[in-house]
Structure formats: structure tokens, C-alpha cells
Amino acid sequence: MSYPANLASDVVLRDGSTVSLRPVRPDDAPLLLDFFGGLDRRSLAFRFFTGAPDLEDAAQILADVDYQRRFGLLALRGEAHRPVGHGFIAAIDDDLVEIAFAVSPMLQGQGLGSVLLAQVAERAAEDGFARMVADVLPENHAMISMFRHSGFPVEVRAEPGSVLVEMPTSPDPEAIARFQERDAVAARAAVAAFFDPATVSAIDGPPEATIDWARGAADEVRAVVVRGAPDAWERQGAAGERALREVCRRAGTRLVGPASFGVLDNRPGRALNLTASAERPPHGGIGIVAQGAGAGRALLQGAARRGVGVSTFVDLGARADVTANDLLEYWEEDQATEVALLQVESFSDPRRFARVARRVGARMPIVVIAERAAGEPPGRGLFDQVGAIRVDGVSEALDLALELADPASVEAWRELPSPPAPTAVPRSDEAAAIIAAALGRDGGEAELDEDAAARLLDCYGIRVEPDGVGTGGPVATDGASAPSVTPTGATALRIAVAPDPLFGPVLRCGPAGAPDAEPAARLCPLAEGDAADFLDRLELGDAVAPTGLGSLGRALEGAAAAAAAHAEIAALELDPVLVTDAGAVAAAARIAVRRPPERRPWPRTWT
């Protein structure tokens, strides 16, 4: 089996810093020996059940990986990328794997063990293993506690001289929620470092000099702001941004920029101005995050001239690291911020924005300067679904934010009903295996064949029967602006999911064969009432009996759940879906898959 390079990732720890993860290679025995050789006797005893193991032999054994039945992950940090953690799984049988972890003492308590657990569990599930077990010394209370608080449903039983901890490889919704909570804690810690003069440093300059400076500064501080020179950074392109980000992440340091207008902490008693502007807005309750120095300058100087009170301001610049989602997580618990104002071109993690905005929007208004989502139909817009307010420009945004920041407006906002939360749907391991097989270990994108698409959809309750078997035979559609009722009595519709740069996967439904005539759009997964709203907008009237409508609603929920659970799904199309009194059946299905752009530090959600 070839080396799964796509599983390498940078992950965020509880203190907001980062480490790099990558799969173990067969030539990693020296690195593993270096790591274990640096652990104290107590840590070695917890990992190997003896304080004096044969480390050379252990390193050789743990480097013996095949990426299916034996798999390891190394956590790395520092300019030399030295190991600071290790996770390992080995098959016991076709259903069960043994898991083991070790974390450098300097990072214990920062959530690295939980991250390693999540990612090796995900790997085991994708390779068809349903359960995992850890053999732990009874006095290793920290490891036992980590398993108990991971969110995975664990079974603990005492054995002579050890404790066996067994759990499924697939997290349930509670486990996913726990990992999302950890991510929120990490995001808040990362942002807080940019507002602390003792932990942040800023620089202006061309890319080459800035990267050289960052190599020295990143080890001394927790946060770096790289300002100015937008034209020079644009000429460098993605390669320059990657080089700067790599320097920072090797040290575990977080980055705002490059080409940022800077950072401002304007809260009472906290004077930090790392922007290029001498104009400071008054103290107030509006948190601002912008993407691009020009937009950031316009917002901050506009706020100062209009007397709009600002709590904190961050210009992300080219957004090489810290994102608007991180700021939303931070403002959720910042008592000085009453309104969030975002100017963004897109979200690096749109699924996360849709989820976080729903939650943060219950506490404060979220004003977003953005164009209307591409192809968004009239009616209940996508921003409305996450509780955000879309505006067109800086002046409109500042006026609205000032109005909303009034104490009476804030209280009235908090009394409004929150948007319904999306339904938590566990990810299907069978569907994940189908996608993994289609992509292969190194594949970038693929389209599922008919059988694979049907099997994947079946995992989410969607029946695919080519040529409309069971609905009266094949049908034709006229592409009209209303559903086509066929002579067989079947109503033909199109259900499709496609990614949106702001919101992630968006579900649409309309007449079969007419992708431009879809009257409704909803974020994935669906929230309570979304399927019913779809059905109302389709105006099927008496054409379909309640049993058929119920089956169609479940098909809508299933398509949204599949797209939400599997970030690899780049496009999903059911056209036509034939709806009769007996139910809803997809006569044809197309699913395109690709590698997600970036792995997140928790399993399954990618958000």
C-alpha cells in the first residue's frame, strides 16, 4: 500500500497552538527512537508497561506499517520537525484494532491525545474496523480520563494488572459535538494571543524579509501579524503564503496575514493597536473581521469617522491561517462584543461557518458584507438560515451594526427565536469506505459508478432504481418551470447538492431536468422543518399522496445528510426522482467525489 500523504494535516491544540500530523513511514524508526528516548520513565511505563523497554526494538516494530492493518501517526513540531506525539493502531482481527498513544510531557493536557485518538479511529473505520481497544495501566488516570471524556461511548473493564478500554471507531453525534467544543476552545485561545501584547508580534515588509523574520520570531511569541505589501504577496502567490504559514506552524505559532491591515484591541483598559491607522474608533460593542487590507482599512477608518464603537478588529489579509470562524468563536464568549461584523470573500471552512454562525447568532447579530450566494433563489435566503444578516457594502454594514449594538436592540435580538439547529446525522462507515475505494490512496477526484452511487445513497435511506422500476416504468420530463406529472402518475423532480463558497453544501430541489428552475435551497444537513418547507415550495398540490410526500421528504433529508457527513462529495444529483403514492425513487444518480482541501482536527465533520 502506497504512503497516504493526503492524511498529513496541521491540527490545533487546546492552547491555540498547532502541531503537524503525518502518517508514520517505514524509515521512521530513528524518529520514533528519538521520541521515546526523550520520555521520562513514568511516560515509558504508561506506554510500554515497563520503565525500561527495548526502545530500538519498539521503534522498529512501530515503524513496520502497511497503512491498512498497521498504521501510525506522528505529531511533529519545531524547525527540525521533532516528534512530540505518536498514535498507533494494529489489527487484532477483522473487526477489532488495538490502539496506543504517547504524548510529550510538555504537551500533555493540551488535547493532542484526543486529536490522535480521533484520527486513528477515523482511519480504522475507513478500513472496515468497527471497534478499538486500549490496554492501559490502572494508574494511568490521565489516559483513562481522556478516553472517558472523548465523547466516544466507552466500555471499561478491569483485567489483572491493566484496564481495557473498548469503544467504536465511529463517533456518535455526542462525540462529534465534544470535538467541536474542543475546537471552539482552541479557536478562542488562538485569537486571544493576538490581543495580548506579551504574546503577539507584528511586522511590515516584503515576503522574503518577512519569512526570514518569522523564523526567529515564531519561537518567541504565540501570534504573528504580517502587515502590508499586498502587491508583493500577490506576486508570490500561494507559494509565499505556504512558506510563511509553514514557518509559523513548525513553531506552533498562529498567523494573521500576510498582507493584513493589522489587529486592534479597543476594549476599555486594553490598548493594543497593531494597525497602520492613527484613527481609532470609540470603545463599543462591535467586533470587526475583514479579509484584505483595503477592506479592513475602509471598515476601521469608516467606524472611526462615523463614531461607531468597536471592541476588537482583525484584518485577515490573505487569510493564510486564522479565519473569520475563529473570530466568531472568540466573540461568542467576549462580553465586550455585542455585534459581529464580517467582510469576507469566502470561508476557508464554509461548513464550520454555517454551524458556528447558527450558535453564535443566538447571542449576537452577525452582519456579513457579501454578495448574494450564487444562484440563491428568492424567499428564505441562506444567510437567514444561519441567523446572519447580509448587506452590500461598508456604509450599510456600519450603519446597521451601530443600530444593532444599541443595548435595547441587543436584548431584543436575544429574545428572538434562534434558527432551528441542523439534525445530527452519524456518518456511515460503509459510505466512507465506498468513497475511499473510489478515490484510492492518492486519487484527487472521481465519479462513482452506478452501483457505488446506489450503495452510498442506500446508506442514507435513498432508493435508486434505474429506469423507474416500481413506479410504472421510465418517464419523460418537459423541463418546464413546474413539476412534470407523467402519464404513469409519477411526479419527476431533481434533487441536487453542490458546494457554496460561503456555506458549504447546499441542497436544491425542483423540476426534473431543469437545474435553473429550483424554487428552494437549504443548507446541509437539514434542520427541523426544512424538508416540509421544501415540499410547500414545490407546490405539488394533490399530485402526490401524503405517503409519497413523506418519502420525498426523507430523500431530501438523506441527500443533505450524505453531503454533510462526507466532505469528499463534490456533487450529488438525483435526476429524475420519481414520486408516486407509493414513495420516492431515484431513477438516476450521479455522485462526484474529491479529496477535501484540508483535514480538520476532529473526526467526521470536516467543519
> How far, CA to CA in Å, does 339 sit from each of 150, 219, 328, 356, 534?
33, 34, 10, 15, 31
> In this predicted structure, what is the pLDDT of residue 229?
87
pTM, full prediction:
0.87
Tell me, what DSSP letter sits at residue 595?
A: -
The reply to whether 600 falls in a domain is no
**C-alpha–C-alpha distance, residues 187 and 199, integer Å:** 15
User: Could you tell me if 494 and 549 lie in one domain?
Assistant: yes
> 584: closest CA among 464, 500, 452?
464
User: Could you tell me if 18 and 62 lie in one domain?
Assistant: yes
- Based on the structure, what is the number of domains in the chain? 3
User: Could you tell me if 27 and 160 lie in one domain?
Assistant: yes
Residues in the chain: 607
Is 422 in a helix, a strand, or coil?
strand
Q: Which positions ≥6 away from 412 have C-beta within 8 Å?
A: none
**C-alpha–C-alpha distance, residues 573 and 563, integer Å:** 11
C-beta atoms surrounding 81 within 10 Å: 14
> How far, CA to CA in Å, does 110 sit from each of 6, 145, 200, 227?
25, 13, 20, 30
User: Could you tell me if 70 and 202 lie in one domain?
Assistant: no
The reply to whether 59 falls in a domain is yes
**C-alpha–C-alpha distance, residues 348 and 599, integer Å:** 12
**C-alpha–C-alpha distance, residues 590 and 583, integer Å:** 20
| CA angle centred on 391, ends 386 and 394, rounded to 5° | 130
Pull the grid cell for residue 92: 487484532
Cα 497 to the center of its chain, rounded Å: 18
Buried b / exposed e across 94-111, counting CB within 10 Å, b at 16+? eeebebbbbbbeebbebb
Rg (the chain; Cα; Å): 26
Buried b / exposed e across 174-208, counting CB within 10 Å, b at 16+? ebbebbbebbbbbbbbbbbbbbeeebbbbbebebe
Contacts 24+ apart (CB under 8 A), 90-94: 91/129, 92/133, 94/128, 94/129
Q: Which residues in the chain show pLDDT less than 50?
A: 374-375, 377-380, 469-485, 487, 599-607
CATH code, domain carrying 525: 3.30.470.20
The reply to whether 174 falls in a domain is no
User: Could you tell me if 235 and 109 lie in one domain?
Assistant: no
> How far, CA to CA in Å, does 549 sit from each of 141, 402, 509, 587?
53, 45, 13, 17
**C-alpha–C-alpha distance, residues 338 and 286, integer Å:** 6
User: Could you tell me if 213 and 338 lie in one domain?
Assistant: yes
Is residue 577 a contact partner of residue 584, using CB atoms and an 8 Å limit? Answer: yes
Pull the grid cell for residue 363: 447571542
Q: Which positions ≥6 away from 483 have C-beta within 8 Å?
A: 491, 492, 493, 511, 512, 538, 540, 543
Is residue 199 a contact partner of residue 218, using CB atoms and an 8 Å limit? Answer: no
User: Could you tell me if 142 and 20 lie in one domain?
Assistant: yes
Alpha helices in 364-476 (DSSP H): 382-385, 394-404, 407-415, 429-439, 450-458
**C-alpha–C-alpha distance, residues 325 and 335, integer Å:** 18
User: Could you tell me if 100 and 128 lie in one domain?
Assistant: yes
Q: Of 391, 415, 439, which one is at a domain's C-terminal end? A: 415
> In this predicted structure, what is the pLDDT of residue 597?
61
Q: Of 389, 415, 441, which one is at a domain's C-terminal end? A: 415
Q: Which residue has the cell 473526526?
A: 603
Containing domain of residue 95, as a range? 5-169
User: Could you tell me if 75 and 143 lie in one domain?
Assistant: yes
The reply to whether 178 falls in a domain is no
The reply to whether 243 falls in a domain is yes
User: Could you tell me if 165 and 274 lie in one domain?
Assistant: no
**C-alpha–C-alpha distance, residues 318 and 43, integer Å:** 41
- In single-letter form, the type of residue at position 578 comes to L
C-beta atoms surrounding 369 within 10 Å: 22
Q: With the C-alpha atoms ordered 404, 410, 416, 420, is the resulting torsion angle positive or negative?
A: positive
Cα 473 to the center of its chain, rounded Å: 42
The reply to whether 601 falls in a domain is no
CATH code, domain carrying 44: 3.40.630.30
Q: Of 385, 415, 445, which one is at a domain's C-terminal end? A: 415
Q: Which residue has the cell 478516553?
A: 147
> Which phi and psi (to 5°) does residue 594 adopt?
-155, 165
**C-alpha–C-alpha distance, residues 273 and 414, integer Å:** 31
**C-alpha–C-alpha distance, residues 541 and 549, integer Å:** 10
C-beta atoms surrounding 469 within 10 Å: 13
The reply to whether 373 falls in a domain is yes
| CA angle centred on 600, ends 167 and 527, rounded to 5° | 80
**C-alpha–C-alpha distance, residues 314 and 442, integer Å:** 37
User: Could you tell me if 132 and 187 lie in one domain?
Assistant: no
Give 201's strand partners: 224
The reply to whether 35 falls in a domain is yes
Q: With the C-alpha atoms ordered 88, 92, 96, 98, is the resulting torsion angle positive or negative?
A: negative
User: Could you tell me if 165 and 219 lie in one domain?
Assistant: no
> 285: closest CA among 302, 268, 301, 298?
268
> In this predicted structure, what is the pLDDT of residue 603?
39
**C-alpha–C-alpha distance, residues 418 and 387, integer Å:** 7
> In this predicted structure, what is the pLDDT of residue 184?
93
> In this predicted structure, what is the pLDDT of residue 590?
97
Counting Cα atoms < 13 Å in the Cβ hemisphere of 578 gives: 25
